[in-house]
């Protein structure tokens, strides 16, 4: 099986995104499914990785509660970042034999896919020495943070397409004080893509870079059928416990 199954999930609570990844990682590691790329649309949320520093969440708890911003500790490398409307979040659930189990090569592939994708819209992006992610000069356009279990990669990337960049004022993004966040809407102007166009471009570049034969679309309904309805159960009354979610990490890299 040399295809990448791609699913645009639509509105997805962040905790459900964690559960979906957890279930798919198990299935992929057991050989019960192929490689997947999930695109959830999250409401405003802060996620804190396994290497946080004190003080990188600037807003206090009362402010976050007033704004309706949840906070999750997650099993990826790195510090704090924001996800929300106008941002393209991608979770590649991919067996890393495809990149010879080389985590640096995996990171560089994700960065390169985004660099090539945004070039389609007239934006010249690049890497920043010593820092993970995708940049336009000194402005950060995309964040990348991954985790690995049983040599299956999960978590992934967040490309700012057209978010309200003021959301990043709640934090020191990725633990970088003074960093300026940017978006395709700001950098590309009239050539800026929609989320759907950005999704298609990133998918095409990942398929080429990772040498898949093609991408196969799947509906959220098909994913429900594969995983069982319990993964999509209502979690509205479940409280969040720091550290909740998948925990067994063989390797991780940073935002």
CATH topology of domain 3-253: BirA Bifunctional Protein; domain 2 (3.30.930)
Give 190-216 as a DSSP string. Answer: GGPPPHHHHHHHHHHHHHHHTT-SEEE
Is the sign of the CA dihedral 249, 158, 126, 209 positive or negative? Answer: positive
| Structure confidence at residue 248 (pLDDT) | 26
**Closest-CA residue to 183 (of 212, 209, 162):** 162
| Structure confidence at residue 241 (pLDDT) | 28
| Structure confidence at residue 46 (pLDDT) | 85
pLDDT tens for the chain, 255 residues long, are 799 999 999 999 998 999 999 999 999 999 999 999 999 999 988 887 655 455 567 676 787 777 777 787 766 655 677 889 999 999 999 999 999 999 999 999 999 999 999 999 999 999 988 888 999 999 999 999 899 999 999 999 999 999 988 888 776 555 555 678 999 999 999 999 999 999 999 999 999 999 999 999 999 999 989 998 545 544 333 333 233 333 222 233 333
Interhelix angle 195-209/103-119, rounded to 10 degrees, is 130
| Structure confidence at residue 237 (pLDDT) | 31
Q: Which tokens hold the place of 173?
A: 């993004």
- Helix, strand, coil percent content, the chain, rounded in steps of 5: 35, 30, 35
| Structure confidence at residue 85 (pLDDT) | 93
pTM of the model: 0.83
Residues annotated as catalytic are: 174
| Structure confidence at residue 115 (pLDDT) | 98
| Structure confidence at residue 179 (pLDDT) | 76
């Amino acid at each position: 099986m040399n295809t990448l199954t791609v699913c645009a999930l639509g509105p997805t609570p962040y905790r459900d995104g964690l559960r979906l990844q957890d279930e798919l990682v198990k299935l992929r590691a057991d050989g019960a499914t192929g490689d997947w790329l999930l695109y959830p649309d999250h409401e405003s949320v802060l996620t804190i990785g396994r290497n946080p520093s004190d003080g990188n969440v600037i807003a206090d708890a009362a402010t976050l509660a007033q704004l309706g911003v949840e906070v999750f500790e997650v099993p990826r490398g790195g510090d704090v970042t924001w996800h929300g409307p106008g941002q393209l979040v991608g979770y590649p659930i991919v067996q890393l034999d495809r990149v010879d189990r080389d985590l640096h090569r995996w990171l560089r592939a994700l960065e390169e896919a985004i660099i090539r994708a945004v070039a389609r819209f007239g934006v010249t992006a690049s890497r920043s020495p010593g820092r993970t992610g995708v940049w336009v000069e000194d402005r950060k356009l995309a964040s990348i943070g991954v985790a690995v279990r049983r040599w299956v990669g999960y978590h992934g990337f967040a490309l700012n397409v057209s978010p309200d960049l003021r959301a990043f004022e709640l934090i020191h993004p990725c633990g970088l004080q003074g960093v300026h966040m940017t978006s395709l809407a700001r950098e590309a102007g009239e050539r800026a893509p929609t989320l759907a166009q950005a999704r298609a471009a990133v998918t095409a570049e990942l398929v080429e870079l990772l040498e898949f034969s093609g991408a196969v679309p799947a509906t959220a309904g098909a994913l429900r059928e594969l995983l069982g309805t319990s993964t999509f159960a209502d979690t509205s009354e479940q409280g969040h416990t720091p550290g909740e979610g998948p925990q067994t990490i063989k390797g991780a890299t940073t935002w």
